[in-house]
Amino acid sequence: MTDNPPIAMLAELTHRCPLACPYCSNPLELARQDSELDTETWKRVFREAGEIGVLQLHISGGEPASRRDLIELVAAAREAGLYTNLITSGIGLTEKRLRALDDCGLDHIQLSLQGTDAEMADSIGGYRGGFARKMQVAGWIREIGFPLTLNAVLHRRNLHQLPRALEMALEMGARRIEVATVQFHGWAMKNRDALMPTQEQAREADRIVKQARADLKGTLVIDYVPADYHSDFPKRCMGGWGTTGLNVAPDGEVLPCHAAQTIPHLSFDNVRDRHLRDIWYDGAAFNAYRGADWMQEPCQSCDNKLKDFGGCRCQAMAVVGDAGATDPVCIKSPHHGALQAEADAFSHNDEADLIYRTAPGKPVPEIAE
């Protein structure tokens, strides 16, 4: 149980996306377009979010620009008193649409970066011409004056581009960059061998980020998600299950985190049937791993249990087969050694091909690696 409202809500407007990133964290089974919430239902959900105390709305997907009603939805979210952040690849945004988003009050844009040049970005995103388009969109974002966060997703194939990604954030006028080493959830699990950074790369990224934080203090904020398979302590995933945020999937299922549907014994409420307030406070999925009562050893007697909440439930499920187990990233987990050995083996598999994220009916990208 909790007495605290959520601070943030992620609205996954759609799972449709023009890109085919092999590290996509969306579930293996995507919500079909005909199951997506309609405009009026999303508007009601935003009102309910405002009523229960949500402050920030992260509008995501898939690619949220694939929704024709994006501008209407952003306007409704602003009316509901929410701070609106659009998380986008930029594909599908025109200058006209961006100006309309500005007119209706969009507060912030988070632009993803698949690579720092066309060769890398287009091959990772599986979308020819995507990088050039993104640079054009970045120019319009700057011209209009949206506050911008650049979201660079890094892995074995592009970690060497981190210094250039930092430069690009400055050139684009971004106030913040998220340096996110790929996390293995959903589709990304299929590509652990093709994308796992080496331990040396993970260490080098730590060093570059530390130096850049010192050099760019006051100019650029750097958020950093390290390569957790190579770490000894788990991440406090979602800030703790059911403590700060909730996700609404395209079909209206309300999830404690974006990968929660990979935990097979959980069942999820839907905004079509229940008010967001009831789902947050009383929903079975939200209460399944809230607090510390559910924890097993070694978490239960660990001094860090209310700091990291045992790490990521979905990672425990994916790697150990038990969502209630200690995240195997933790040095106290009996599976820690095996995970690190596995990470090392994945990171040296130079034969592994990328398996692109493809939806049913969508062709595999033609872009060769």
**Which positions lie near ligand FES, rule CB under 6 A?**
185, 237-238, 257, 259-260, 312-314
Mark 295-326 as b/e (b = at least 16 C-beta within 10 Å). Answer: beebbeebeebeebbbbbbbbbbbbbeebbbb
* Residue closer to ligand FES (CB basis): 62 or 245: 245
Closest CA to 158 of 196, 214, 189: 196
Judge contact between 182 and 230, C-beta under 8 A: no
* Residue closer to ligand FES (CB basis): 185 or 336: 185
Smallest separation (angstroms) from ligand FES to the CB of 314:
3
Smallest separation (angstroms) from ligand FES to the CB of 46:
23
Smallest separation (angstroms) from ligand FES to the CB of 258:
6
* Residue closer to ligand FES (CB basis): 284 or 364: 284
Smallest separation (angstroms) from ligand FES to the CB of 88:
21
Count of Cβ atoms closer than 10 Å to residue 230 Cβ = 23
Bind-site residues for [4Fe-4S] cluster: 17, 21, 24
Structure token digits, residue 266: 């959980």
Smallest separation (angstroms) from ligand FES to the CB of 313:
4
* Residue closer to ligand FES (CB basis): 104 or 196: 196
Long-range contacts of 287-294 (CB under 8 A, 24+ apart): 287/1, 287/242, 288/241, 288/256, 289/241, 289/242, 289/256, 289/313, 289/323, 289/324, 290/1, 290/2, 290/240, 290/241, 290/242, 290/243, 291/1, 291/2, 294/324
Smallest separation (angstroms) from ligand FES to the CB of 237:
3
* Residue closer to ligand FES (CB basis): 78 or 185: 185
* Residue closer to ligand FES (CB basis): 109 or 248: 248
Closest CA to 102 of 61, 134, 60, 147: 147
Q: How far apart are CA 342 and CA 258, in angstroms?
A: 24
CA 354 to the chain's CA centroid: 20
Bind-site residues: 17, 21, 24
**Amino acid at residue number 111:** L
Q: Which backbone phi and psi does 346 adopt, to 5 degrees?
A: -55, -45
